[in-house]
Structure 1
Amino acid sequence: MFTAKNFSPNQLSALTALLLSVPIGIAFYVIHNKIWIAVIALLIIFLGSYMLIRSVLEKFIYRKIKLIYKFIYQTKASKKEEMYYKYILPKKSIDEVRADVEKWAEQRKNEIEILRSNEAYRKEFLQNLAHEFKTPIFAIQGYVDTLLNGALENPDVNVRFLENASRNIDRMVNLVSDLDEISKLESGEQPLYKQNFVIQDLVKEVVESLTIKLAERNIKFSIKKGCELPVTVFADKEKIRQVLINLIENAAKYGKQNGNIVASIYNTDEKHVLVEISDDGIGIAEEHLPRIFERFYRTDRGRSRDVGGTGLGLAICKHIIEAHDQSMHVRSKLDVGTTIGFTLDGRQGTKVNGEQVERQKA
């Protein structure tokens, strides 16, 4: 279907000039009754109108459009951009220019929303950080002031106050250590030393190291039936150990007394392995699930500071897994339990003389 929607400036100028010159040519033919005079008049009017209209379009309308584009990109035009303005932009229809401006406006709107979200996150993070440090600092200050004001000579309280102050100092040290860990993971300062290892063996080592914590709440640990066969992954073993420690400790803290923790390991395809740690504890409300990997974020149902920890464990886990170019996920239902999982690369290596040789890279 014929449409002028996508006409270029040259085409639009030619069409307009033709619409002007044809009636004038007909008028000359009617007045002089000579076809050659009418043709000459038509050509002169057509060429003159075409040049005039094209000049107006290019020098007026597209000059305004260029200003719009320069405003959009907020920069002085480079030689490449000047070529764009001179040769490519004039070939665009007004609708295409409008689409470009609408696209730019949408991008700016999204950027503003991201900035607002980041600002809100920054404020919340600083508030949480101040609270996390304020609590042990004020506690230490209270114990020290009490000791200096005479309690130091009281054998019934001096040792107990010093022990309490020491525990709060340890809490601050752990906070700083965890923040430093996240900072290094974000900046890439901590290299990954990847190797092939059996993930079930690492899970068993971690559980063995947490036996006392699990026994305190009489929580049983098991590997899901059907997941016992050894599965080899290619990752930084010590970093994944840290992830598993955090996840199993969390499952023990928020799992129910006399409950169960179950580890599941699946070969999702020939290249990836899925590892999941499940508990049958209090669960997490749905509205909290998108934020549990944020620093210091704690839900309001049982996952309080009274349970212990710095509130950075899951954030560290997420950074470690993302450093492996993998992802974490969570599923949970209140009073049913929580499952947190992550993916890893499967076994990797190179073949030399028909034999599989493990390879390690930093």
Structure 2
Amino acid sequence: MAVIFKKTYRFAAITSGAITFFLALAMGVFFFFSKVNNYWYFGAFVVISYVVCFLIIQYRVERMIYTRIQKIYDDVTLLDKTSFAKPQITTDMKTLTREVERFAQNKKLEIETLKVRENYRKEFIGNISHELKTPLFTVQGYILTLLDGAMKDKSVRKKYLQRASKGVERLIYIIKDLDMITKLEVGDLNLVKENFDIIKLLKTIFDLYEMKAARKNITLTFDIDYEEKVMVNGDKEKIEQVLSNLIINSIKYGKQNGTVEVSIENLIRNKVIIRVTDNGEGIAREHIPRVFERFYRVDKSGSRKEGGSGLGLAIVKHIVEAHNEKIYIESQLGVGSEFSFTLEKAK
């Protein structure tokens, strides 16, 4: 019955066998011409030769592979030598090849991820530069015009200063949103959770943006009449910001004479889901995965005309996730959009 060796020892076993065979052959010739008939010596010689050869070859091969691979880890900065231990050494080349292929695959994924992040970084820098440049140039233009002589005309002076003030307000608005989203991303924003009535909060928001919606003859409404309170638990101020951003977004991209509808449904025993639905422009499928990115704009020309910092939906997502909740989007181009998020019920 053949002895089955582990793959890690197969090379040493086969090589030792070959060496022992030739040694035994040479020793057999020596015994034959010397007329030595003691086969015990011959058998002991064969066994000892095999064991000694096996141990020496196994040790030397392991040492060679370990030394050379360690040098690769030392020379190639992409590899971390601390992740490589001596017990991992194997003389089985299939195992070694598999490990190298696994490492190469992991590095390939890391490189692809870094490329995506680099593209995102470049796009983000370009977007933020544009967002800040527009109001800055506007303010600079009005101030330079005033300095060039328009300041002497009181009516022009007042009008240009008012416009410059609006440009400064837009800059402050963008910087505040950037500060907010930075704190949310690094987890530096503390949530003050409390129980509150989500229906009452929504009615307050409806009253606040009623005039804005009226300019496009958009109706802000609930899906049904909520006669009873719906108590939830969360940071009331932050949830108000979430709902305000979603409703403003629906008004911005809503159709003339359209509707923005809010509904609250029981999701599971301790959760509700709040839906904000409009019958506006809708979002194309290819844009949906990116709508929560900072400064990402589906329709750049239209959204700039409508104003905003371009950070509203990114802030919404981070606030919802800071509550350990989920936010969803469903949209169809030309039909409308629905943004929904979960929230914990009041205990």
Q: TM-score range by the shorter chain?
A: 0.7 to 0.9
1:278-314 CA distances to partner (integer Å, 9 max, x unpaired)?
1100111122111111111111276421111111111
Bigger shift: residues 110-119 or 92-101: 92-101
Matched letter for residue 7 of structure 1: K
Q: Which residue number corresponds to residue 50 of structure 1?
A: 54
Using the TM superposition, give the Cα deviation of residue 225 of structure 1 relative to its aligned residue in structure 2, in angstroms.
Answer: 4.3
Q: Which residue number corresponds to residue 321 of structure 1?
A: 320
Q: Which runs of 4+ in 1 moved over 6 A?
A: 2-5, 226-229
Using the TM superposition, give the Cα deviation of residue 123 of structure 1 relative to its aligned residue in structure 2, in angstroms.
Answer: 1.8
Matches within 5 A, 1:1-362: 7-9=7-9, 12-21=11-20, 25=24, 32=32, 35-69=39-73, 71=76, 74-75=79-80, 77=82, 84-85=85-86, 88-90=87-89, 93-225=92-224, 230-300=229-299, 303-348=302-347
Matched letter for residue 150 of structure 2: A
How far apart in 1 are the matches of 2:102 and 2:91?
15
How far apart in 1 are the matches of 2:8 and 2:291?
54
Matched-pair contact (CA < 8 Å) for 2:177–2:311:
yes
1:124-162 CA distances to partner (integer Å, 9 max, x unpaired)?
222222211221122122222222233223244332222
Q: Secondary structure at the match of 1:183?
A: helix
Q: TM-score, normalised by structure 1?
A: 0.83
How far apart in 2 are the matches of 1:233 and 1:18?
77
| Pair 167,14 (structure 1): closer, same or farther in 2 beyond 3 Å | same
Matched-pair contact (CA < 8 Å) for 1:285–1:332:
yes
Q: Which residue number corresponds to residue 354 of structure 1?
A: none
Bigger shift: residues 279-288 or 267-276: 267-276
Structure 2 unaligned segments of length 5 or more: list them.
none
How far apart in 2 are the matches of 1:149 and 1:140?
14
Matched letter for residue 42 of structure 1: V
1:311-337 CA distances to partner (integer Å, 9 max, x unpaired)?
111111112112122232222111100
| Pair 155,100 (structure 1): closer, same or farther in 2 beyond 3 Å | same
How far apart in 2 are the matches of 1:61 and 1:317?
54
Using the TM superposition, give the Cα deviation of residue 171 of structure 1 relative to its aligned residue in structure 2, in angstroms.
Answer: 0.8
How far apart in 1 are the matches of 2:5 and 2:255?
67
Matched-pair contact (CA < 8 Å) for 1:6–1:93:
no
How far apart in 1 are the matches of 2:123 and 2:283?
20
| Pair 117,305 (structure 1): closer, same or farther in 2 beyond 3 Å | same
How far apart in 2 are the matches of 1:211 and 1:21?
95
Matched-pair contact (CA < 8 Å) for 2:135–2:168:
yes
How far apart in 1 are the matches of 2:5 and 2:254?
65
How far apart in 1 are the matches of 2:59 and 2:336?
72
Matched-pair contact (CA < 8 Å) for 1:227–1:266:
no
1:12-38 CA distances to partner (integer Å, 9 max, x unpaired)?
423442354357547866874764244
Using the TM superposition, give the Cα deviation of residue 165 of structure 1 relative to its aligned residue in structure 2, in angstroms.
Answer: 1.4
Matched-pair contact (CA < 8 Å) for 1:181–1:316:
yes
Bigger shift: residues 273-282 or 194-203: 194-203
Matched letter for residue 58 of structure 1: E
Using the TM superposition, give the Cα deviation of residue 120 of structure 1 relative to its aligned residue in structure 2, in angstroms.
Answer: 1.8
Q: Which residue number corresponds to residue 352 of structure 1?
A: none
- CA-based RMSD of the aligned residues comes to 3.0
How far apart in 1 are the matches of 2:6 and 2:115?
38
Matched letter for residue 205 of structure 2: V
Matched-pair contact (CA < 8 Å) for 1:281–1:335:
yes
| Pair 66,286 (structure 1): closer, same or farther in 2 beyond 3 Å | same
Matched-pair contact (CA < 8 Å) for 2:330–2:338:
yes
Q: TM-score, normalised by structure 2?
A: 0.86
